[in-house]
Amino acid sequence: MNKLLFVSGTARAGTSALVNILNLHNHILMGQERYFFKFKKNLITRGHFSKKRFLDIREGDTHEFGGLKVPPGKREERFDHAFYVGDKYPPLFRHLDHVFKEFPKARHIYVLRNPLSVVESYEARFQNPEDNWNLNWEAGLAAWNESLQNIAALPDDKLSQFVFVQYEEIYSQTKAINALFTRLGLSNLEPEVLAPFVSKFADLIQKRVPRRDDIRMHVARKADWPSYQKLSAFMNPWGLASFN
């Protein structure tokens, strides 16, 4: 019987990259917002993760960029060998009551990224005329605050189902990524398999974005730093935290 695994955080926090990494493991099959609209409407159920339904992508399940990125010819075999099957949905924090009720034993990975980088990423997409992204930096900070507040307020028995991943650390070394697989009770991957993700992250953090001191000042004043500190306080050197 597969265990259910959900990846969340906020938009622009690196959840897609994490799912791509998780799907490198032959005992994991994760969707990229496979059930975006089912989560959004609180219609997601355990039946959506049966083999027949999970592999059958239907109209109304997700948006044009979502679904299963594992090649079609490998999906059935991967599902059969998967220890974890699941999906990523960044704004899961808005649907916690429903998700906990429907999936009381699911495990969760929550990606924690610093608020300035999140809002700058929101704004960069918002300002791109070729992007249909319609949420500016203020919307990004509001979502970041709401997400962290909702998660930090969970009781210990719910927090025990989460592994918290620090964006700025998890992609920095292959050992950090493998520490996550260890936390999930899985074997490690060869460093050369993970090296391209580490290299891509190293390039990404060197990329310059337009500096906006008004945004930086607002984030400094209005970000929910107590919730951020609570969730990051238990991080180990590999950027992981668990409340187990």
Pull the structure tokens for residue 184.
């999930």
**CA 18, 122, 95, 67 torsion: positive or negative?**
negative
Q: Average the pLDDT over 42-68 and give the result.
A: 97
Q: Strand runs (DSSP E) across 74-188, as ranges?
A: 84-88, 107-112, 162-166
Sorted by where each starts, the structural domains of the chain and their CATH numbers stand as 3-242 (3.40.50)
CA distances to 25, 40, 114, 171 from 194, in Å: 11, 32, 23, 9
**8 Å CB contact between 28 and 186:** yes
Range 117-125 average pLDDT: 95
Reported confidence tier of residue 243, pLDDT bands at 50, 70, 90: very low
Residue 130 pLDDT > 70: yes
CA angle 123, 240, 24 (to 5 degrees): 80
Q: What is the pLDDT of residue 242?
A: 59
Mean pLDDT value across residues 18-37: 97
Q: For a pLDDT cut of 90, what percent of the chain falls above it?
A: 87
pTM of structure: 0.94
On whether the CB atoms of residues 236 and 243 are closer than 8 A, the answer is no
Alpha helices (H) in 49-131, listed in sequence order: 51-54, 72-81, 96-102, 115-127
Rounded Cα distance between 136 and 139, Å, is: 5
Weakest mean pLDDT among 88-97, 195-204, 228-237: 228-237
| Percent of the chain whose predicted confidence (pLDDT) is above 70 | 95
pLDDT at 205: 79
